């Protein structure tokens, strides 16, 4: 985690902060988080993974 060099440029950026967040949330909260991340210009890329118990 932290500031790292990207494997390839994304939106003309060659470095970016990697962050891992682990949360428990319902589908509505997950969808809202996804919506907010998509409209945030500071987020170059994101991935949501659903872990089944």
Who has greater pLDDT, 52 or 25?
A: 25
- What's the confidence (pLDDT) of residue 50? 87
Q: Measure CA of the first residue to CA of the last residue in the chain; give whole Å.
A: 25
Give residue-wise pLDDT tens across range 10-42: 999 999 999 999 989 999 999 999 999 999 999
| Residue 45 scores a pLDDT above 80 | yes
| Residue 46 scores a pLDDT above 80 | yes
- What's the confidence (pLDDT) of residue 31? 95
Domain definitions of the chain by residue range: 2-39
Which residues neighbour 37 within 8 Å (Cβ) at sequence distance 6 or greater? 43, 46
Q: Give this prediction's pTM.
A: 0.74
């Amino acid at each position: 985690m932290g500031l790292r060099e990207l494997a390839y440029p994304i939106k003309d950026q060659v470095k970016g902060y990697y962050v891992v967040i682990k949360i428990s949330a319902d589908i509505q909260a997950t969808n809202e988080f996804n919506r907010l991340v998509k409209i945030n210009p500071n987020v170059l890329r994101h991935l949501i993974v659903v872990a089944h118990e």
